Amino acid sequence: MDFLRPTTWEEALAAKADRPDALPLQGGTDVMVEINFGVRRPPALLDLTRVAELRAWSVTGGVYRVGAGVPYATVIEELGGALPGLAQASRTVGSPQIRNRGTVGGNLGAASPAGDSHPPLLAAGAVVEVESRERGVRLIPAEEFYLGVKRSALLPDELIRAVRVPGAAGPQYFSKVGTRNAMVIAVCSFAVALHPREGRVGTGIGSAAPTPLRAPEAEEFLRAELDWAAPLDPALLRRFGELCAAAATPIDDVRGTAAYRRHAVGVLARRTLTWAWDDHLGRRAA
Ligand SMILES: Cc1cc2nc3c(=O)[nH]c(=O)nc-3n(C[C@H](O)[C@H](O)[C@H](O)COP(=O)(O)OP(=O)(O)OC[C@H]3O[C@@H](n4cnc5c(N)ncnc54)[C@H](O)[C@@H]3O)c2cc1C
């Protein structure tokens, strides 16, 4: 197995263009497990850990550009105020060791339907920035990035450069059901992001369909029915939960049945919207 070690982004793009069969390696918390267990044996590894710019984040015009190599620990420590949904999800990932090594870029690269960063990225309206040497930068809205189980819109000669996430304009919440409280792959998960200025609520569902996905009908329903100055109507909350559950297309597997997952998505949707709405009304009253 060849081991490619670029030190700049340009070198990394050149290496991927010349060797599209090289498997990118960031934190290695997915890749090394797969190699150790013999799940895959790539002809080459493209180690991105020396590309310093991937580990940086910046903000321009209220949009946060989080480098593909920024670990969860940094998201938690430095971006909790600006990107609360992503930071909450990051806190639930693995253990401190995994959060120190594992990255949002790696979560996107793996494109597992159970990846914890996906629901808050969908709810916030994030855009994935990918790049190739031949065609330059491509911006892919998160909802178009996930194509199937562990399949994404990334092309063989492309690398993920960053993810662009609008700074939170309102409360955001993430919640996850697992078989225990830590070190657990989600049985299902849900994220909500309020966008009060646009009169809109964003959603993201994890681990309850072949890909992470939004619940567009539930979002449309809230856009039409919500009174942003009033307490949440219980009937509206119930309908929101039903529409989110209906958006899921879960399967039975070792972690849970399809019926349980669909039910849990509805519960998480109601729960996270209630938390977010309490915050929203609290901020209006302050
Ligand atoms: C013990 C344990 C617990 C875990 N718990 C959780 C959990 O609770 N929630 C969760 O979501 N995940 C969990 N994971 C999975 C893993 O930690 C996450 O998916 C993490 O985000 C992967 O990031 P990484 O940087 O380690 O990626 P890597 O393993 O380096 O890469 C993952 C994938 O992304 C690709 N990739 C990486 N960087 C790029 C790039 N710049 N461009 C293109 N492709 C790229 C790789 O080729 C690979 O396919 C766990 C893993 C372990 C071992």
193: left (phi over 0), alpha (psi -120 to 50) or beta: beta
Residues 114-147: b if buried by 16+ CB within 10 A, e if exposed: bbbbbbbbbbbbbbbbbbbbeeeeeebebbebbe
What three-state secondary structure class fits 247?
helix
Range in 113-117, 120-124, 159-163, 182-186 the model is least confident about: 182-186
Cα 165–chain centre separation: 10
Q: Pocket of ligand 1, candidates 93, 181, 187: which has the most ligand atoms within 8 Å of its Cβ, to mutate?
A: 93
Name the amino acid, one letter, at 186.
A
**Under a CB-based contact definition with an 8 Å cutoff, are residues 119 and 217 in contact?**
no
Report residues whose beta carbon is within 6 angstroms of any ligand 1 atom.
23-31, 33, 48, 68, 92-94, 98, 101-103, 105-107, 109-110, 115-116, 154, 159-160, 183
Question: Could you tell me the two tokens for 241?
Answer: 């939960």
User: Which residue in this structure is represented by tokens 């892919």?
Assistant: 140
Give me the mean pLDDT over the 116-126 stretch. Answer: 98
**Residues 199-218, mean pLDDT to the nearest whole number:** 97
Assess whether pLDDT exceeds 90 at residue 183: no
Render pLDDT for 135-156 as a digit per residue (tens, 0 to 9): 999 999 999 999 999 999 999 9
Is pTM, for the whole model, over 0.95?
yes
The pairing of beta strand 151-152 with beta strand 146-148: antiparallel
Residue nearest to ligand 1 atom 5, measured at CA: 94
Average pLDDT over residues 229-250: 97
- Are 109 and 154 in contact by the 8 Å Cβ rule? The answer is yes
Using the predicted structure, report yes or no on whether residue 180 has a pLDDT greater than 90: no
| pLDDT band at residue 221 under the 50/70/90 scheme | very high
The pick from 21, 95, 101, 107 for probing ligand 1's pocket by mutation, whose C-beta has the most ligand atoms within 8 angstroms, reads: 107
Give the ligand 1 atom nearest the CA of 30: 29
